[in-house]
A and B are shown apart, each in its own frame.
Chain A
Amino acid sequence: MSSGETSMVNWVLNGEAVQSPAGTTIFEAARALGVPIPNFCYHPGLSIAGNCRICMVESNRSPKPVISCSERVAEGLEIQTDSPMAVEARNAVMEFQLINHPLDCPVCDKAGECVLQNYSYDHGPDRSRFDEDKNIRHTKELGPSIDIWGNRCIVCTRCVRFCDEVSGTGELCVVERGDRSVVDTFPTVPIDNPLAGNVVDICPVGALISKDFKFEARVWNMRKTDSVCAGCARGCNVEVQSLDGFLKRLVPRENPEVNTWWMCDEGRYDYRYDLADDRVTSCSLDGNPIDDGTAHQALADMLGEGAGRVGVLVDPFLTCEEAHLAGRLATGAIVGGWTSRDGTAQCFPGGFTISAEKAPNRVGVEAVLGDQVFSGGAAALKSALEKGEIDTLVVFAGFPHPDLDPSWAGAIGKAKRRAVFTLRAGAWSEGADLVLPSASPFEKDGTYANEDGRLQRVRSYRAPGEVDWGSDLQRLQEILRLAGARNRVLSPASVFRELAEESSAFNGLSYSTIPPHGAPLAGHGAATVGAEGGAQ
């Protein structure tokens, strides 16, 4: 793209004079103008293949229909998307797609989110004229997480292009030719890359099947919640899908500023900890189970008179709102933060990155509690603990997979009294006076800021009335109320307003109007994914 102004092109779409930037494809230009055109093989994050032919439209520059995914707008071009020629072309492609397609809908996971199925409704045909035997292609395992049901494959090559261009791993190919062609892997090289799960998302039909999700749920029965992945500091936008209170699947949502269209397998398949048997699910005092009310009062008492020197150890899984409240648990408290050990950062040819930092909100917690909280603050707290100076310690350990610096274990044990909010039991909760269950990132309503400083909403997948371990936000406010530090238990939005008033990073932002693609925190040069040669 050249710098400076892009020239606009005057063309005609369905009889209406319109303008679009030069170089745009008819498909994208029409979409921007609110005229959708069907597509199978085209995907904005992948190179143009032009093989499905469903996007054909009528053009004044050609006696034959043209594919809109690759033809560009031009001065004086006239395009019709619903003329008899365009409709006939579309119907032709639909008929051809369906003649060999198996009638698998009743047993196919893709039903309900299947492009072929949807287009059958919109573009027909509603009955088959095919009286022959259908082709048979392989059903097999392509890799540890992906199967292919080859009879369903429409050879659009999205998955092949994904592995070539985005993950850069090239494990997929089309084999054979003609109507025998189907997607496959090399016999001894399965598809096994950190982004593999995305091919199932982009498959327009139910050919590529996720083993994790196979036969798990019907898509129309699931509850869908827009949130962000807490697997690392990239903060990929996801849709959390659940059925009857059980998490079933995570799929990425498009965000050009964060994750474009993708998410990694580590984040995608790591949701089972939410309902793991070893999660802490109830409060306990000196090892004995107690109810929430008793626990909250107990902590309020611990922080009241006789609290002595208070330390608060925050984790990077707290939302900004929770961090704000944690910081207010006691005036004059030493606040430090601890993190899980870093994993490996990964960069992929298509521009997608996985962060080494396996936590979602260090940046947000720093924006609320000060950018030293995980460094200088942590050091100060640890030192104070070592010296036996901390009387009351509140620990937040909402780590799904704790991999903590062991030196903290020793330090934590030195506090005279200890209350721990935790997802799992561990060295840090052993011997604690008070243990409270921590919400998982899936159960939080609040905001996270990713490594670029982009603030995004997390949302709980819990439906009202479903079993709820209790939101940390409510607990903390309840505890503060009992301690006399607050009057009311407020919504996340109101807590957000409080913290925005105190922290300039959140200037001008309001909880319910955070834009769909997130908002950069002030003072962060929020980089965008794919800024260098990424998918367009």
Chain B
Amino acid sequence: MSDLKFSEKGMQHYEWLLTRYPDKQAALLPTLRIAEEEFGNLGVPEMKYVADLMGISPARVFGVVTFYTHFRRAGTGTYHIQVCSTLSCALRGSQEVCDHVAKRLGIEVGETTEDGLFTLSKVECLGSCDTAPMFQLNDDYHENLTLQDVDGIIEECRQEAARGGAR
């Protein structure tokens, strides 16, 4: 099949996780996070790997991964821009931010740029309503955004990618 496997560090983390829960199934979400760290995106081979590693059915893993919105699904670009769009942010210009990102990147919401660098998503309330408008770029929140800030962030990502140091 595939030669996916966790690094030694990843496997150690996984073994440690198993000691924190009385039921192995409970380690699924954190193990999927290890898989994200190690493999980048959770595509079919990655989900299968986790299922086989944990001895649970691949369908169960699939049902879990597709239920949640914050896992990096297959096809997610290196830089995942998740624009918060719920009421408080919408009241303070989140639509403009989203439209601006879309225009700058040349993609629609839900799409990934052809070079695989950027994915643009609209997400629900990120718990940063007082610093609206904002987006989450991979792990990090970027708050109180102006359209200029957005341009700057996109440029930084491009430069980082060009230097070969992504994420």
Residues of A in contact with B (beta carbons under 8 Å apart): 163, 169-177, 184-189
Contact = CB atoms under 8 A, between A and B. Distances in A.
> Taking each of B48, B61, B66, which has the highest tally of chain A beta carbons within 10 Å of its own beta carbon?
B66
B138 interface: no
A186 B61 contact: yes
A170 B44 CA distance: 17
Contact of B57 (A171, A175, A176, A184): A171
B44 A173 contact: no
21 contacts: A163-B59, A170-B56, A170-B57, A171-B57, A171-B59, A172-B59, A173-B59, A173-B60, A173-B63, A176-B66, A176-B67, A184-B59, A185-B59, A186-B44, A186-B51, A186-B57, A186-B61, A187-B44, A187-B62, A188-B44, A189-B59
B58 interface: yes
Contact of B62 (A163, A169, A175, A177): A175
B47 interface: yes
Nearest to A168: B57
A186 B48 contact: yes
Nearest to A188: B44
Contacts of B63: 173-175, 184
Contacts of A184: 59, 62-63
Interface in B31-64: 44, 47-48, 51, 56-63
Given A186-B48, A187-B44, A188-B48, A170 B67 contact: no
B88 to A, nearest CB: 22
Q: Is the interface of B mostly helix, strand, loop or mixed?
A: helix
A173 B48 contact: no
A120 to B, nearest CB: 29
Contacts of B56: 170
A172 B61 CA distance: 11
A186 B67 contact: no
Contacts of A175: 62-63, 66-67
A409 to B, nearest CB: 45
B59 to A, nearest CB: 4
A349 to B, nearest CB: 13
A170 B60 contact: yes
A177 B68 CA distance: 8
Contacts of B57: 169-171, 173, 186, 189
Contacts of A187: 44, 62
A92 B57 CA distance: 36
A175 B69 CA distance: 12
A174 B66 CA distance: 9
> Taking each of B51, B57, B59, B66, which has the highest tally of chain A beta carbons within 10 Å of its own beta carbon?
B59
Interface string B62-84: 11001100000000000000000
A306 B51 CA distance: 72
A409 B57 CA distance: 47
Contacts, number: 45
B66 A186 contact: no
Q: Which 5 residue pairs of A and B lie closest in terms of their CB atoms, listed nearest first?
A: A173-B63, A170-B57, A186-B58, A173-B59, A175-B66
A171 B66 CA distance: 15
A187 B62 CA distance: 9
> Taking each of A163, A170, A173, which has the highest tally of chain B beta carbons within 10 Å of its own beta carbon?
A173
Contacts of A189: 57-59
A169 B59 CA distance: 10
Nearest to B56: A170
Nearest to B65: A175
Contact of B59 (A170, A176, A177): A170
A181 to B, nearest CB: 8
> Taking each of B56, B57, B67, which has the highest tally of chain A beta carbons within 10 Å of its own beta carbon?
B57
Nearest to A184: B62
Nearest to B69: A177
Nearest to A187: B44
Contacts of B61: 186
Given A170-B57, A171-B57, A187-B62, A177 B67 contact: yes
Given A170-B57, A173-B57, A173-B60, 4 more contacts: A173-B63, A176-B67, A184-B62, A189-B58
A188 B47 CA distance: 11
Nearest to B51: A186
Nearest to A175: B66
Contacts of B58: 186, 188-189
A152 B88 CA distance: 36
A525 B60 CA distance: 40
B25 to A, nearest CB: 12
Contacts of A185: 59, 62
Nearest to A173: B63
Contacts of A177: 66-67
A15 to B, nearest CB: 43
Contacts of B66: 175-177
Contacts of A169: 57
> Taking each of B58, B60, B63, which has the highest tally of chain A beta carbons within 10 Å of its own beta carbon?
B63
Contacts of B67: 175-177
Nearest to A174: B63
A188 B66 CA distance: 16
A184 B62 CA distance: 9
A184 B63 CA distance: 8
A341 to B, nearest CB: 33
Contact of B47 (A163, A171, A174, A186): A186
Nearest to B57: A170
B121 to A, nearest CB: 15
Nearest to A191: B59
A177 to B, nearest CB: 5
B95 to A, nearest CB: 22
B70 to A, nearest CB: 13
A184 B44 CA distance: 14
